Amino acid sequence: MMKMQKSNLFLLIIGVFLILFPFISDSRTLLIVFTQIFIFAVFAMSYDLLLGFTGIVSFGHAMFFGIGAYSTGIILNRFDGTVLYLVISMIVGVILAAIVSYIVGILSLRLKSHFYAMLTLAFAGLFLVGAQKWRSLTKGNDGFTFGIPDFLKDRMMLYFVTLAFMIIAYLALRRFTSSPVGKVLQAIRENEPRTESLGYKILHYKVFASIVAGIFASLAGSFYVLTLRFVNTSVFTTEVTLDALLMTIIGGVGTLVGAILGAGIIEFAHYFLKDLAKVHWIFERWIIIFGIIYILAVMFFPAGIIGTVKGWYAKRQSKKHDAKNEEARRNANASM
């Protein structure tokens, strides 16, 4: 209980800092970076729901991100950039993502983990090729710009909207993972045959988790293109999925908070390493430096940063508990 209270207090402090940040810093660049972090944090949390809580490895998660991105981009481009059409575009993206995730899940989740991962990669490739070739709708690799609601043109307002989006998504996913359905998903991750032997329909739970993850990924894609006011086929690439994978692993698999931390680390790494290119030419190859950072993170934090910290804390509490028990035993012997 005490540990949970400390964790909630820490998250509350971070939340207050993020709310006050635009008022204590006048950096427009940092405001944009934080906005990107909030959006990719939701995308990474949606991936963590699959990898960390259900044990599903997917290489095609970007297709749901791209569905949301193109749904918002196309509707706001074809119609007015108003709040009404923005909401409609997000609803359309969510519905399409739910349908696609259901179909992909039914077709592929019967397979074992690595076969499923390869099949999701193939489905994502189909969406990427479709976006490249259907130029009358997507404008291909060139992409297109579109208008957004006037109040979102203010960077500070967009910052607060995306912050609220991240907080709501975190609370919703935390509630979901702590629900009876979430507990079954974790049981599937730990021991699928035993969970099935208890009478649970494994496929149904996996498909449901895939749908929920797809919905949140779609919403993240919608918010992402709002920050750019532009969309092209890059939202369907494998790199987008790999970013979510790295964010989840570096922050801590199966924690949700780790996905937020991982998103922050990776987005800030992108920002600072690109800036350092002006200092020395080696930083122009920032992806190499980024790879080294990832290797070091995996070596020193094998369970992710949050997972490793939790492990250290658990060991420390265990030692304190053992010491108290030993002291109580000695006192009991002394009294005898």
pLDDT value, residue 170: 94
Question: What is the distance, to the nearest Å, from the Cα of residue 195 to the centroid of all Cα atoms in its chain?
Answer: 26
pLDDT value, residue 282: 62
Q: Torsion angle, CA of 209/210/216/222, rounded to 10 degrees?
A: -170
pLDDT value, residue 64: 95
pLDDT value, residue 97: 95
Domains in the chain: boundaries: 30-262, 311-336
Residue 302 · residue 258 · CB < 8 Å: no
- Walk along the chain (336 residues) in steps of 10 and give the mean pLDDT of each run: 63 87 86 94 95 89 95 92 93 96 85 77 92 90 90 91 95 94 91 88 91 96 94 91 89 89 87 68 65 75 78 74 68 64
Phi-psi region of 254 (alpha: psi -120 to 50; beta: other; left: phi over 0): left
Nearby residues of 301 by Cβ (< 8 Å), 6 or more positions away: 250, 252, 307, 308
Q: What is the pTM of this model?
A: 0.89
Q: Exposure pattern of 285-310 as b/e (b: 16+ CB <10 Å)?
A: ebeebeeebbeebeeebebbbbbbbb
- How far apart (Å, rounded) are the C-alpha atoms in residues 304 and 247? 9
- How far apart (Å, rounded) are the C-alpha atoms in residues 68 and 153? 20
* Residue 108: count of CB within 10 angstroms of its CB: 22
* Residue 267: count of CB within 10 angstroms of its CB: 21
